[in-house]
Amino acid sequence: MIYAHEYKTFQYAPSNKYDPCYVDLERLVYLLDLPNVEYKEFDTKLTKLEIVNFVETKKPRVYFLNVDLFSHYNPDDIFSISDKFPETLFVFFDHETTNFTNRITSSDNCILIMNSFENIESRTHQNTYNYYFLNSGLQGEYNNFMNELFRNTYPIKRFKKYNFFNGVHKPHRLACYELMKKNDLIDEGYFSYMDYTRSLGTENERREVSEFFGFEDNEYTKYISQFEIPYLCDTNEPDPNVYKAFLVPPQISLTSYIYITTETRFITRDAVSTSEKSYKGFLGFNIPLIFGQKKLYQYLRNMGFDMFDDFFDTTECANDKEMFEQFDRNLKKIKQMSLKELHLFYLDNFRRLENNFSLMINHSENQLQEIRKKCLKF
């Protein structure tokens, strides 16, 4: 018997059916077309002991479990549970971040589906999957809608040069915002920085920013007070950042040419970290410009994505200083180009954008098929 359990915490999902949100476990199990599946959505969370007791009693062959169901979740729980029941294949969902380590990649009966990955190059086993790819694969109607919309509208001249949304407060995002102001680009695209930064963030965020910029005790407060943070809200949902978290809305991506983003992590070490931010521009048919770790572009190229190396400077940087200088040069190029010039480049290269979109869908479908085969084989 196969069981699928989850706790619905995503209260503010956009109401429009074309707006992707978190992976719908019920729909995922349906698309996997597995036999003898019992799906259940819980109104209350369960303790680790309750989950262990369930597995001991029901002895599932495959158990899909969203970690939001844990009342007190510790990442080690997924391994202690899977180690305890080697005869069950566990498929754990978590929309947060995980590190690829030998411990994670050595559990034959544990599949992890995560939104954000760190230390990707240490991956040694094919038992980890991308939450965002699966999310894209589940949005069949949306993908068809976007594909048709793009094909029918790409020749139309767009209103803005770029879209660039920043959510969680990070020092490198503030630094990139300063570069956007320096190049006088704020009004030439869709730019937003979540306005809770006005409250100076958490203590850890304040410390991180102060250390990054070299601020003294009260300099950060003064720094924040000296500029007005742009805030673009395209939805009336209580948590507007959720809407943009998984896709740039089509009314924005299809009226701008370039997708700019700052990844969650940027320190120039050899490890690579990805989240949904590395990928969602491909679903919007935008030219990508990603500020992330130094090997991120090469990682995405290895996956088959076209990073428009002939348009932007995407060479690997040696240190943080070079990364900001490179980003500044790329912003200058955007500034120097007119909307007409961008439009002509876009028209000449729209096939490349189509290929990136198709590759996203292919990755989604391939991951779905891999998970299905493992569930049937176990």
Looking at residue 9, what is its pLDDT? 56
Q: To 5 degrees, how large is the angle CA 276–CA 278–CA 281?
A: 90
Looking at residue 251, what is its pLDDT? 87
Compare 292 and 158 and report the one with higher pLDDT: 158
Q: Is the pTM for the entire model greater than 0.75?
A: yes
Q: What is the mean pLDDT of residues 37-47?
A: 92
- Asked if pLDDT for residue 20 goes beyond 60, the answer is no
Domain boundaries, the chain: 2-138+363-377, 140-360
CATH, domain range 140-360: 3.40.50
Mean pLDDT across the chain: 81
What's the fold here for domain 2-138+363-377? Rossmann fold (3.40.50)
Phi-psi region of 352 (alpha: psi -120 to 50; beta: other; left: phi over 0): alpha
User: DSSP letter string over 299-349?
Assistant: HHHHTT----TTTS--PPPSSHHHHHHHHHHHHHHHHHS-HHHHHHHHHHT
- Asked if pLDDT for residue 39 goes beyond 80, the answer is yes
Among 99-103, 212-216, 267-271, 293-297, where is mean pLDDT lowest?
99-103
292: Cβ–Cβ under 8 A, 6 or more apart, which residues?
262, 263, 265, 266, 273, 274, 278
- For residues 113 and 330, give the distance between their C-alpha atoms in angstroms, rounded to a whole number: 34
Among 6-10, 74-78, 106-110, 183-187, where is mean pLDDT lowest?
6-10
- Find the largest Cα–Cα distance for the chain: 66
**φ and ψ of 16, to 5 deg:** -65, 135
- Asked if pLDDT for residue 334 goes beyond 60, the answer is yes
Residue with tokens 């209103």: 159
Q: Are strands 37-42 and 62-66 parallel, antiparallel or unpaired?
A: unpaired
- Asked if pLDDT for residue 107 goes beyond 50, the answer is yes
Band of residue 189 on the pLDDT scale cut at 50, 70, 90: very high
Q: What is the mean pLDDT of residues 244-261?
A: 84
Compare 295 and 196 and report the one with higher pLDDT: 295
**φ and ψ of 125, to 5 deg:** -130, 150
Same fold, 2-138+363-377 and 140-360: yes
- Asked if pLDDT for residue 260 goes beyond 80, the answer is yes
Looking at residue 211, what is its pLDDT? 77
Q: What is the mean pLDDT of residues 79-98?
A: 83
CA distances in angstroms from 139 to 47, 246, 294, 332, listed in the order given:
32, 11, 31, 36
Torsion of CA 268, 269, 272, 275, to 10 degrees: -50
